[in-house]
A and B are shown apart, each in its own frame.
Chain A
Amino acid sequence: MPVFALVDCNNFYASCEKLFDPTLTHKPVVVLSNNDGCVVARSAEVKALGIPMGVPWFKIQDLARQHGIVAFSSNYGLYADMSNRVVEVLGQFTPDLEVYSIDESFLDLSGFDPAGLEAYGQVIRQRVADWLGLAVCVGIAPTKTLAKLANHCAKKNLAGRTGVCDFTTLDPEALTGLLDSIPVNEVWGVGSKLTRRLAAMGIHSVRQLRDADAETIHQRISVVSERTVRELRGMSCLDLEAMAPDRQQIMCSRSFGRYVYRLKELEESVAAYIGRAAEKLRGQDSLAGALMVHIRTNPFSESEPQYQKAMTVALPEATADTRVLVGWGLRLLRRIYRPGYAYQKAGVMLSELRPSALQQASLFSGQEDAGRAARLMAAMDSLNHRYGRGTLRVAAEGVSTRWRMKRERLSPGYTTDWAGLPVVLAR
């Protein structure tokens, strides 16, 4: 029987903030989305106050003052480093691991002693807590869909309060009772739309979905939902995706911290986004065959004149060269830019990706140049990796950064920036 564990970090972003800041112990902490918009992570204290996920920060100002809620901008560098550390620790427990998201990983525990799984989950939990100071919950089950639910139970203390929930050793009747008490929208892949459709069929709880007729679900909903039903019954249909599949498109788009009017500033932002996207492209050893640039005003600002435009170019030759991509990107931008608008967002997308090994040289390309360009790009990536993003960039990105995202509540790069290291007092 296959066995999967889902290991999920509790309140991950908020926990990372608390880990390095001693003034935050027992304080309610939230982390805000890009441009400090909405709450995207909440510490346990904030959850206890009943503040929901996704609420705009400006709407909870009074509550925040009243309860002393501390808010942070998203410190992606910190979270990514801590996430990588968690994955490294988890990798010590099994060679088969799928990084599902920044704070969740599936572990394949098939073939492990079934009687020892719960204890193994405890060891994992303890190791991550001791080594990294982060709390995780572990859900263990014969399918990934059930492992996700077991993790939900572990997190909400629905089956014991140990932080580990093992469905494989749970008495079948107890499991049925448990699944009966969980609403169906907690099932992996069941979103709000599907929840409504299932409700129309009289399916409200996880148990009802599990016991539904698979054929009916297939016909009335989809083959994907039928697979979910089978997974809920303990038939494993989803294997680990050991390696994140290479992306077919690479996007980089962001809202500006404020409105941008001038072409020059748009150029700088588009060049910077292309720089980031191209770095990701090279990171997966691919070349892009097409590039899209997109700009728009704020659609919610009804008093302002609205404009949005995207334009794509099929590149004469697939490339991962930031300089070439920026050159094309700026040409596109100048074609779509119209003066007199308050631009709120710009984005770029690299598509028609292919492995760099498959490159077809076009008639006009010099092989020698391609080799030199690849070496230059590799050097650029390694310097940026070593000395921080943006150390080396193409001149078009500019040095002014006024258009950059608003992140006024950003904590230091405690683990990623020499200038941001947490100071200890010797006194």
Chain B
Amino acid sequence: MLDAGPCPGNGVFIPLPDAPRLALPLDGVKVSAGFPSPAADYEDKRLDINDYLIRNPVSTFFFPVEGDSMEGAEIFAGDILVVDKSIPPQHGHIVVAFVNGERLVKRLHHRHGRVALLAENPKYAALEISEAMELIIWGVVVGKFKRLAP
């Protein structure tokens, strides 16, 4: 029989001293007084999307995209670009560049004395960079992300 203590409302349930012990959830983690979980040896850190997208956090910056000229490179309007400024820009890299007072995302072409910023959409012509123009390659695009749910 159970020994009932003082009972407000539906009553408090006090188990017998020799009742079998149950594992109780504590802070969302199941703890047990018995044998250790066989999975304990296999515990890993939960995946962090920062580790996947960002190699060098100190030099990494984010830039949202407007426009469709880079769709061939799978960069769409509304994507947020991950830009690592520590990577030396090279021919073929997708880069964020400052030209003529604008912030652009383009593919960098730098071969045989020709410097140009290429689009990845046939609707857009290449932007040839002449000697007289000032080009700042701000950083190299290493990834992108976008949140779909609000």
Question: What residues of chain A have their CB less than 8 Å away from a CB belonging to chain B?
Answer: 22-23, 25, 85, 88-89, 130-133, 414-415, 421-427
Contact = CB atoms under 8 A, between A and B. Distances in A.
B62 interface: yes
B62 A131 contact: no
Contacts of B104: 424-427
A423 B58 contact: no
A415 B62 CA distance: 7
Given A89-B58, A130-B85, A131-B86, A425 B105 contact: yes
6 contacts: A130-B86, A133-B85, A424-B81, A424-B103, A424-B104, A425-B66
Interface stretch (B9-17, B94-102, B108-116): B94-102
A258 B135 CA distance: 43
B58 to A, nearest CB: 5
Contact of A424 (B58, B66, B134): B66
Given A25-B98, A425-B102, A425-B105, A131 B58 contact: yes
Contacts of B99: 22
B53 interface: no
B99 to A, nearest CB: 8
B21 to A, nearest CB: 27
B136 interface: yes
A424 B85 contact: no
Interface in B26-85: 56, 58-59, 61-71, 75, 77, 80-81, 85
Contact of A425 (B71, B103, B134, B138): B103
Interface residues of B, number: 34
A426 B101 contact: no
Contacts of A421: 62-64, 80
Contacts of B58: 85, 88-89, 131-132
Given A89-B58, A424-B63, A131 B103 contact: no
Contacts, number: 78
A426 B75 CA distance: 9
Nearest to B75: A426
B80 A423 contact: no
B63 A25 contact: no
A287 B62 CA distance: 37
B80 A133 contact: no
A363 to B, nearest CB: 31
B86 A426 contact: no
Nearest to A133: B85
A85 B104 CA distance: 24
Contacts of A422: 63-64, 103
B105 A23 contact: no
Given A25-B134, A131-B86, A424 B105 contact: yes
Contact of A132 (B75, B80, B85): B85
Given A25-B134, A424-B81, A415 B63 contact: no
Contacts of B62: 415, 421
Contact of A423 (B56, B66, B70, B86): B66
Nearest to B98: A22
B41 to A, nearest CB: 31
B101 A23 contact: yes
Contacts of B68: 426-427
By Cβ-Cβ distance, the 6 closest A-B pairs, closest first, are A426-B67, A22-B98, A131-B59, A427-B67, A426-B69, A426-B70
A422 B103 CA distance: 8
A25 B86 CA distance: 21
Contacts of B86: 130-131
Given A89-B58, A132-B59, A133-B138, A423 B98 contact: no
A107 to B, nearest CB: 16
Nearest to B123: A427
A423 B138 contact: no
A89 B56 CA distance: 11
A110 to B, nearest CB: 25
A421 B98 CA distance: 16
A217 B104 CA distance: 59
A332 B98 CA distance: 53
A46 to B, nearest CB: 19
Given A22-B101, A23-B101, A133-B138, A424 B65 contact: yes
A25 B100 CA distance: 9
B136 A25 contact: yes
A424 B86 CA distance: 19
A346 to B, nearest CB: 36
A365 to B, nearest CB: 26
A426 to B, nearest CB: 4
A28 to B, nearest CB: 15
Nearest to B68: A426
Contacts of A425: 66-67, 102-105
A426 B77 contact: yes
A423 B69 contact: no
A427 B69 contact: yes
Given A22-B99, A131-B56, A425-B66, 16 more contacts: A22-B98, A22-B101, A22-B103, A22-B136, A25-B98, A25-B101, A131-B85, A415-B62, A423-B64, A423-B103, A424-B103, A424-B105, A425-B104, A426-B67, A426-B70, A426-B75
B105 A426 contact: yes
Contacts of B124: 427
